[in-house]
Every structure is written in structure tokens, then in C-alpha cells.
Amino acid sequence: MLVDRVQFCELDDVKQTVAIKVLRALRSYDPSKVTGRGFGPHRHGLSSCRCGQCRYVYQCVLNLRKDLLQKKLRPERFIEDLVAAGGPDMDQRSGGLPSRDSWEMEHLAADHETVYGEIEKDGFRLPNTLNSGERAVVIHLYAGYKMTEVMRILCIGRNEYDARLERIEAKLSDWRPSPARQPELA
């Protein structure tokens, strides 16, 4: 049985995964893409149904079974296991474990300098030759967004994104910003 060999999954998790896979397979089935001839009429509920839809769903479930069996066990570490329950005064009484608040401040929080320091330090400047659409792409990419996120935020397609990127590369290829001038004291 599948659940016996997939030791790190519980039975309910496997049942839910299979149910979701069947639902997605039923929704994504397209009879126009079926090649060859069918194997008879629909006989849903019977184990011998050989219609195109049932064969497609069965193949999707077999692929899921293969994926679950090949899945590598990755150890999960929970924050609750790494920290002590209680307030900030629990460090000494919890056997050296930090409190949840101090652990979150150390590992999950970022201060202003970490987030904005690099941008403010660089004095980020763009050439005047970039139009507003090209500037928006550069600013979002510089802020760390991925290509698909930039396309979604700006409501543009892949072709428009590629065209903007080509224009940006052409305009920035020979652009050398002059160093910022220091005001002269009179």
C-alpha cells in the first residue's frame, strides 16, 4: 500500500493529496487532445471504465504515486521546538533556549538599515532617456521583484516585458553617470 511505503506522510494527508490530484485532473481534462479512439462508453463507478477521461485521471494518480514514492524526507524544524515557551525571562529557566520574542527578533526581523541602507547608500539614479514604463520595470527589478511579479504588477505581457527590457539594455549599455557634484563653498 502507498501509505505504508511513504512513511513520513499520514493517511489523511495522502488521501487529501490524491483527492486534489483527481479534482485537478478532472478539471484539466480536454477531450480534444485525446489521440486514438476511445475504449467504450463511460461506466463511471466501475473499475473497468476505459474511457479517455478515466484513463487520464488514472495516469495522473499513477504519476502522483510515483512522485510520492520518490519524495525525499526533509526534516522539518518548528519554531516552537527551537524556543522556550513563555516570556523574555525564560532564558535561564528553559535550559538555554531563547524566548520566542528574542528568537524572532534575531532570525525573522530586519531593521531599517538592512532593508533600505543599500538603496540609500547607492544614490540610485536612472538616465533621463528611460520612459515611465521602462523606469517602472527597472525600479521593480531593483527592488527585488521577479520577472513574473513585475509583469503582474504592471499588467503587461511577456512580449511587452521583453521589449521594454531590450530598450532598457540598449539605453543603459553606454550610459555612464557622472559623479555627484559637491557644492562649492564661496
What pLDDT does residue 90 have?
47
What pLDDT does residue 55 have?
84
What pLDDT does residue 6 have?
61
Indicate the SS3 state at residue 87: coil
What pLDDT does residue 162 have?
94
Cβ neighbours around 140 below 10 Å, total: 17
178's grid cell: 557622472
- pLDDT (average), residues 43-55: 71
Residue carrying the nine cell digits 514604463: 133
What pLDDT does residue 5 have?
62
- In the structure, what pLDDT confidence band is assigned to residue 71 with cuts at 50, 70 and 90? confident
Q: Is 70 exceeded by the pLDDT of residue 3?
A: no
Tens digit of each residue's pLDDT (9 = 90 or more) over 13-37: 888 889 999 999 989 888 887 766 5
Which residues, in sequence order, are CB contacts of 90 under 8 Å at separation 6+? 84, 97, 99
Tens digit of each residue's pLDDT (9 = 90 or more) over 113-148: 666 665 566 566 777 888 989 989 998 888 888 999
Which residue ranges make up each domain of the chain?
Answer: 2-70, 112-172
Spatial contact of 28 and 40, defined as CB atoms under 8 Å apart: no
Indicate the SS3 state at residue 36: coil
